[in-house]
Amino acid sequence: YRAFAVADHDFPAVIDLGSQMVTESVVGRFGVNVDRSAFILSEIIGTPTVFAQGAFNGGELIAIFIGEVSDHMFVDMTLASDLFIYSSPTARGGVNARRLTNNFTDWAYAQGADMVKLEISAGINNERACRLFHHMGFEDVGTLMARIH
């Protein structure tokens, strides 16, 4: 495992990993919009408020963490939030998610974040993800509810 910043030449691999996540997730029936994904990645990757790091095994992207820092709308604080955390099925159970999350958290605090929040909503091993993040010092601060149309 090696963690590297994600660059524009990694976008096809990021989109492939995102497609795997969508297929496994609660929104899988909606499919993947590759053009929109590529556009959004091109707009956010490399900006100062966005963290994008992948775990690579050789040249293969096996896990990814994309997150951002931003000011809270109402409270005088800076929040760091994940946008996309995913490990391929063959990369689960190891250290990839832990290392990428630690790297994001360290980066977020260096950017001035007062709080780091993680959204567990894909419906893929949610209980396992919660256990990992609890073990890493994160705590429940609310509940995410969804109603898919």
The predicted-structure confidence for 63-83, as pLDDT tens digits, reads as follows: 999 999 999 999 999 999 999
- Average pLDDT of the chain is 94
Gyration radius of the chain over CA positions: 15
Residue-wise pLDDT for 95-108, tens only, equals 999 999 999 999 99
pLDDT at 94: 80
- pLDDT range class, residue 49, cuts 50, 70, 90: very high
Place of tokens 């509810």: 145
Q: Which residue has the higher pLDDT, 75 or 58?
A: 75
- The whole-model pTM stands at 0.94
DSSP 27: T
Cα–Cα distance for residue pair 147/100, rounded to 1 Å = 30
Closest CA to 136 of 82, 100, 109, 108: 100
